[in-house]
Amino acid sequence: MTDDVEPFYLPIGDEIEVFEAAYAARLPVLLKGPTGCGKTRFVEHMAWRIKRDLTTVACHEDLTATDLVGRYLLSGEETVWMDGPLTRAVRGGAICYLDEIVEARKDTTVIIHALTDHRRVLPVDKTAEMVSAHPNFLLVISYNPGYQSVLKDLKPSTRQRFVSLEFDYPSVDAEATIVAAETGVDADTAERLARIGEKTRQLRERGFEEGVSTRLLVYAGQLVGQGIAPRRACDAALVRAVSDDPDLQTAVADIVDVVFP
């Protein structure tokens, strides 16, 4: 749901303008990018900016179409229909953000098809209903092409229904600004954290596809802000989190060690 406080977001390119244009035309939006690079924050920021409610669904591999659309529940001695989060957003005119859509079961991608073209309807087969989308409704999905297994690739027929915005980790300077803004650590610490992020991402081909995300850097910064020494904070937030491979952990620990004075 929208908040009065502006969610911090540092634009890297023209993504805000493109999103606003897409919203104006009610075109569904696909956000593509590695984990923890700011996709969810971007949607929160945009919902705040265009003053719409936001319904976020974090998709997981057991998430079914029923979970999104709704189901009958037994209440007392009768069955009661309960709208799912997607149906509520469609009826109420919110922005519905399906985070990591390919994680969910395949039947979920089918039900969003009718919502993403000119029809803008949500078929609810269990109630034999075609729910027309509220004029303010917008569907946003995100997808991380990096670590998804081949079984979980987004089908072209789904992908081609969306306006695509590509995200990547920001530059060192931008990331330092983000870390400083999110955590309140001094500029020097933020810059060092950003540098660690940049360096570890150069190991993407070496066992961890993603590297250290901006989110993890923010975690480390928050620990530092709470008074934990920078090396210890990075050890807890970054080194242990990125990989289980001992060599990779050692290498990341070495990077942390040489970057902090």
Partner 1 sequence: MSSLSLPEVHGALSLFAEAIVGEPVSVEVAENAWPATPVANAVARIALPAEIDDLAPAAARRWFRAAALQQLVALEDRGDAAPVDLLALRRIHALLPETFVWLEDARIGALARRRYPGGRADLDALTLAGAAMSGSALGAAAEHALIRALRVRCLDGAMTAVASAALGAKLIAAIDDAIALVRQPGSDRETSLAAAAELLRSVAGLRVRIDEIADVDGDGPEVDDRRGAAMDSAATPDEFEDREGTSGGRPVDQDMTAERSTPDDDGDDDGEDEPLSGLMLPVGSRRASPDVRTYVYDEWDFRARSHRIAWCRVLEERLHGDDPSFIGDVRDRHRSLRAEIRRRFGRLRPEQLVRIPRSLDGEDLDLDAAIESIVDRRSGAPADERHHVRRDRAARDVATVFLVDLSASTSSPVAEPEKVPPPGIDPEDDPISYAPIWDPNLPPPEPPRRVIDVAKDAVALMSDALAELGDRHAIYGFSGSGRENVQVQVVKELADPVSPTTWSALDAMRPMRYTRMGPAIRHATSKLVGDAARTRLLVVISDGYPQDVDYGEDARDRAYGMNDTARALADAEAAGIDTFCLTIDPAGHDYLREMAPEQRYLVIDDVEALPAELAKVYLALAS
Q: Which residues bind partner 1 (CB under 8 A)?
A: 61-62, 64-66, 71-72, 74, 77, 79, 105, 149-151, 153, 199-200, 202-203, 205-207, 231, 244-248, 250-252, 254-261
Of 17 and 125, the one with the shorter C-beta distance to partner 1 is 125
Of 135 and 261, the one with the shorter C-beta distance to partner 1 is 261
Of 6 and 254, the one with the shorter C-beta distance to partner 1 is 254
Assess contact for 221 and 243: CB atoms under 8 A: no
Of 40 and 214, the one with the shorter C-beta distance to partner 1 is 214
Distance CA 175, CA 18 (A): 22
Of 4 and 77, the one with the shorter C-beta distance to partner 1 is 77
Residue 128 backbone zone (phi > 0: left; psi -120 to 50: alpha; other: beta)? left
Residue 41 CB, shortest distance to partner 1, in Å, is 26
Residue 137 CB, shortest distance to partner 1, in Å, is 24
Residue 72 CB, shortest distance to partner 1, in Å, is 6
Of 54 and 193, the one with the shorter C-beta distance to partner 1 is 193
Which residues are registered as beta bridge partners of 56? 97
Distance CA 42, CA 11 (A): 9
How many residues does the structure list for the chain?
Answer: 261
Assess contact for 214 and 197: CB atoms under 8 A: yes
Cα-based torsion angle of the residue sequence 139, 142, 145, 146 in order, rounded to the nearest 10 degrees = 180
Residue pointed to by tokens 């027929």: 157
Residue 188 CB, shortest distance to partner 1, in Å, is 10
Residue 170 CB, shortest distance to partner 1, in Å, is 17
Of 134 and 206, the one with the shorter C-beta distance to partner 1 is 206
Distance CA 170, CA 144 (A): 16
Reduced to 3 states (helix: H, G, I; strand: E, B; else coil), residue 121 is strand
Residue 109 CB, shortest distance to partner 1, in Å, is 15
Residue 65 CB, shortest distance to partner 1, in Å, is 8
Distance CA 236, CA 192 (A): 16
Residue 27 backbone zone (phi > 0: left; psi -120 to 50: alpha; other: beta)? beta
CB atoms within 10 A of CB 92: 15
